[in-house]
Amino acid sequence: MAERHRLSPSRLVGILGGMGPAATVDFYAKLVRHTPAEQDQDHLRVVIWGDPSVPNRQEALLAGGTDPTPWLEEGVRRLIDAGAEIVVVPCNTVHAHVRPVMAGQPVEFIDIIDTTVEAVRRRGLHRVGLLATDGALASGIFQRGLDAAGVEWVLPSPERQASLMRLVHAVKTGRVDTATLTAMADLLAEIDSRGASTAVAGCTEISTLLERPPGGADVVDPALELALRTVERARHT
């Protein structure tokens, strides 16, 4: 049997993960699933620094909690020392802190927020629902990006936003059940009722719940968009 054609090795992708662990696993699974491959050797070369000890991003942004920047700097250094040529971070909220860390680094940084906004523009969307953590919303990282792209955004009601934060906690603690999925469906239904037929799943824990959006809801998944962009850039020479 003739030997299959082998692609040249990809650029080395560094994943700064652990925020949280389930979201990192979900992102890597999407990266593997969406890499065109006929054999192991066709997949991307990846190194993961998964550090769940990074201080709580919500507390840092909302309550003057410990700044996670030193942990992020350490993680980026570990990835670069391991030979990473591209760095990605499958956590939306932490981009309020990681963007300054990545400025001037000798590697390519693929920003999950920018990548998501690009996907929204590419789909021609003019109004979206924004499902993001309290910390991400307080930082304004998504709102500024969508505003700059001329895209209107709708937030959940305070009651549903509190429900969203409980969903995020459920994923982080591994307690996802039928009630969790029902609450997710209710969130999407409320967003739709407020004039946004498409929701941006602006938290990677939320992304893990929307592999198959309930009720046929239309969702832009930042983790998926980041995975697709990473595959593209890792194969770019």
Known catalytic residues are: 91, 203
Q: Which residues contact 107 (CB under 8 A, 6 or more apart)?
A: 14, 79, 80, 84, 85, 86, 87
Tallying the residues shown for the chain, one arrives at 237
Please calculate the CA angle 62-179-127 and round it to the nearest 5 degrees. 55
Note the Cα 33 to chain centre separation in Å.
16
Q: What is the DSSP string of 134-197?
A: HHHHHHTHHHHHHHHTT-EEEPPPHHHHHHHHHHHHHHHTT---HHHHHHHHHHHHHHHHTT-S
Cβ-in-10-Å burial (0-12, 13-18, 19+) of 33 comes to exposed
Q: Give me the sheet containing 198-202, strands edge to edge.
A: 152-154, 127-132, 198-202, 218-220
Tokens linked to 19 = 């925020």
* DSSP conformational letter for 19: S
